[in-house]
Chain A
Amino acid sequence: MELIIAKYNYWIYIMLMMIGFYAMIAKKNLVKKLVGMNIFQTAIILFFVSTASKKGGATIPIIHKGQEIINPAHYMNPLPHVLMLTAIVVMVSTFGVALALAIMIYKKYKTLEEDEIIEILRNRR
């Protein structure tokens, strides 16, 4: 119990990730798969961002003008945020490409259900 509460951020991210993972693998609808993919990716972003925080009310690392003493313990670690900015860009573009593909598929098969598409492909053969 102690473990769960102390590390709640990890548990949440793992839960989210598993939900997304399930959707990506098990759902038959292509858009649902993509939604799952987004949840999956967001979970990882959350995980990274949560690692940046520090106990004791650390805040965003913006330094006031004229501030003399800088104690790192008072500020969150900015690097994970920066990394995640990059990662978000990557993920958004992945999502964009995937949606474009979904549109292509829809135009071709008039459906987004995976098993129906497989059926169509099989009949075509």
Chain B
Amino acid sequence: MEIVSSIKPVSAIAVSLVAALLILLTGERSRNLREAWTILAAVLKFGIVVSMVPSILDNKILEYTLVSISPGLLIQFKVDALGLFFGITASFLWIITSFYSIGYMRSLKEHAQTRFFMCFAVALSATMGVAFSANMFTTFLFYEIITICTFPLVAHKETPEAIKGARRYITYLLGTSVAFQLVAVILTYNIAGTLDFSNQGILNEAAEKVGNTFVTVIFVLYMAGIAKAAMMPFHSWLPAAMVAPTPVSALLHAVAVVKTGVFVVVKVVLHIFGINLLRELGLGTALAYFASFTIVVASIVALKQDNLKRRLAYSTISQLSYVILGVALLTASSITGSVMHIVLHAFGKITLFFTAGAIYVAAHKTNISELDGIGKEMPFTMTAFTLGALSMIGIPPLGGFLSKWYIGTGAIEAGQLPIVLVLITSTILNACYFLPIVYAAFFKAPSGIHHAASHAPAEPFTVKSGTHENLDILAVPLMVSSSGTPSLCAESHNKNPRANSGTLSAPQAAKDENGGIHEAPPLMLGPLMLTATAALVLFFYPSVFLNLARLVVAGVTGGN
């Protein structure tokens, strides 16, 4: 392992901070300029992150010390495979989400958009900070910044309900991090004398001195303190945070925030405690069963949620615990699976959230029970939804299958057959709460509540109930081909005479007198199809991510 000093990690973080400042300065004066900053920053950030890939695959580690506050307290960045993995996922999805959120915010004429985009940019900076941090102090710092700068995003609507949700959000996230995580960090520092991440863990020697009970307590404090991973019983902030605008739910509560949580869990497990120590103490298995509990229970709770976003939230809770489960099993395959799941779930879940937002913008619906027949109005959206759902369930050829496969293999390697059972149960439950939505959307007759569209005559993309197979066969390749290029989406979208892609008119204004396709604006549609496709593509071409995941595993297990 060669350590190279590089300013790239810092610039990846700084770029969106600068953007946040520019966004604030531009403000409402020029919306287009303001949004341009967001997109520019997103693209730049992704570019910087990707430019680090070759060196990492070369077995190098990029390092940069920003500030050394006092010995042991450094703001230091170190890009390794795991961090880069997370960094690529988050920064790539930010580009897509930027387009999507511009569409969303403008369509709904949301207020305080400057604040929204600014906080978003800061949140992404902090996410990169967590991804690239070299020690637990830096991690904690950015972890807290994420919490705080996403608070205004959750409370964005400023309704009593939103403020209540935001309160719960901040109470759980800030509360647990100060009450447990900070204490755990201080205890770690006290007994280990350092907070730097290390492939072997830093507590091995200390554990002999202070005894196993003490180390176990620290471990429990860490797990309780990382509420962003939404492990039960610290999960209820996530459904509460669903009051946020959908782009926030999509990127932050499916990717940045919650993945930060699981990422920190992975870091703590692999780099603070180390595989050997956890194996010795049997804590890995304990954590695995804890995560299993969350997986199953959250899935069951998800079953009875009628609000689409809440159902997705519970699904997220359950899926996040897959990552924890994978890493807790402490075997090579399961860790690979766990790391892969960070990215695969991200693509799947963001698609689902995008569709939820698209449905809200286009049809103003939030509940699953109202979605009957919506597939005819929004065929692209709902097809993307189907792909996302299948990926969540883990059906090949979608990405979600890969990670589940690896985690399952890992469980067998670890000799934990009950865990395999958990995986199967959860897969069935996933199917139970996703497939009915797909079914209702495509095959059920629209309910009476929904107006005009249901009475509309058939039009190009509406398919009668009987011919559903055709639709699937038709739509999938269509989307694969079209989604990569937003212009194509716009083109296909132009079939709807009302929604003019150039001016981004609010689609709900275009009351569906001519009925038929009634999609969300192209700025929203493009992203969601892109991510859906990515979920598919990742199954066939996971090599970049898989290589990175192998590097992670090689590092921590000492193999290769």
The reply, when asked whether chain A contacts chain B directly with Cβ atoms under 8 A, is no
